Amino acid sequence: MTSSESGPKECKVIQEEELTRGKWLYLSNHHWTDHTGKERIWEVVGRTTKGPQDQDCVAVVAIVSRSGHPDAMVLIKQFRPPLKSYTIEMPAGLVDNGETIETAALRELKEETGYSGSITGIGRNVSLDPGMSSATMKIVTVKVNGDDAVNKDVSRVCGVQGEHIEVILVPLNSIQKCLMDFAADGLIIDSRVEAFALGFALTSEKII
């Protein structure tokens, strides 16, 4: 027996079987073969809105700089029915068909927070919940000039089409404490926010 015959086989999806479809999501069975060649079935949730682009949605790391204030991250608080709880998240949303990542990021930032800014970076395509969903996203970093007239009088409550989003500015130099306080109040912290805070703390040598 050759090494190629005895070694692990390449895993691959061989068939997608849609089970049910809603307005925004669909459920399917992915028939796939594992490293031994055995066929298996995996339940997968996908977005009905996904277009030809690789990513379904975009999240925005928006940092506000204002005279006399420490730099702050723009976060949002909103109720999420699947969790039966309010959450602390980054501004985020779906990428419309024909829309660029840049346009989607700035649009979502404006719709959900009222802030306008300039893009400083676009991340790689990343998975959201690879054990359950086919959804992917890109994270876009945006610089917001808090002294600019367009950002002076933004509303603390934003959102469109039934959304009720509370806008929160969290100073970067106290983001870990703020998230701990949110969690103590029963809010659920989005994993991307938690990862950002941990990365910021590590690079700032505040922990370990």
- pLDDT tens-digit map of 148-202: 999 987 877 776 666 789 999 999 999 999 999 999 999 999 999 999 999 998 8
What is the per-residue pLDDT across 158-173, written as a single tens digit (0 to 9) for each? Answer: 766 667 899 999 999 9
Torsion of CA 197, 131, 15, 32, to 10 degrees: 120
What is the per-residue pLDDT across 16-46, written as a single tens digit (0 to 9) for each? Answer: 999 999 999 999 999 999 999 999 999 999 9
pLDDT at 208: 37
Instruction: Give percent of the chain above pLDDT 90.
Output: 81
Whole-Å CA distances, 35 to 8, 32, 138 = 5, 10, 29
Instruction: Give percent of the chain above pLDDT 70.
Output: 91
Whole-Å CA distances, 139 to 17, 91, 205 = 30, 10, 24
* 157-158/188-189 β-pairing: unpaired
Structural domains in the chain, sorted by start: 3-47 (no CATH), 57-171 (3.90.79.10)
